[in-house]
Amino acid sequence: MGFSHDKTAHHFHLTPEGGLISASATDAADVATRDAIRQHLQHIAKAFSAGDFSLPMFIHGQEPPGASTMKRLSARITYTSEDTPSGAQVVIRTRDAEALKAVHSFLQFQIREHRTGDSAKVVEQSPERK
């Protein structure tokens, strides 16, 4: 990924239109980590847009729930990388009910696996976007 997990915080949020994957440098002065996060999440947004979920499969040793549906319905889901003050986030959006269910399943799995403590329920927006 190009950055240390010890220097970052990862979060996953479910939204009414999809969700967010975010990472931030824990030290606001750590510009190198911030920039590496931004580059990595840009890569994730592009890969997911192309239906490539190999990284989550590699990290977790299994296909995350929802990933196969997200691949199949890739034309109905958008993935946009946005910079945040201390890192970046991937904003996932869809208007398709089946795709939304898959995105939420995928993000709930990430919350459990990464033990982020984030809510597995739908929130209006992440703290980074407020």
Domain count, the chain: 1
Q: Is residue 91 part of a domain?
A: yes
Q: Is residue 23 part of a domain?
A: yes
How far apart, in whole angstroms, are the C-alpha atoms of residue 99 and residue 60?
Answer: 21
Q: Whole domain around residue 21: which residue ranges?
A: 5-113
Looking at residue 59, what is its pLDDT? 58
* 22 and 111 Cβ atoms separated by less than 8 Å: no
Backbone angles phi, psi at 108, to 5 degrees: -60, -40
How far apart, in whole angstroms, are the C-alpha atoms of residue 116 and residue 19?
Answer: 15
Answer yes or no: pTM beyond 0.75: yes
Looking at residue 130, what is its pLDDT? 40
7-52 per-position pLDDT tens digit: 899 999 999 999 999 999 999 999 999 999 999 999 999 999 998 8
Q: Which residues contact 34 (CB under 8 A, 6 or more apart)?
A: 24, 25, 86, 87
Looking at residue 114, what is its pLDDT? 86
Q: Is residue 66 part of a domain?
A: yes
Backbone angles phi, psi at 83, to 5 degrees: -75, 145
46-103 per-position pLDDT tens digit: 999 998 888 655 554 668 899 999 999 999 999 999 999 999 999 999 999 999 999 9
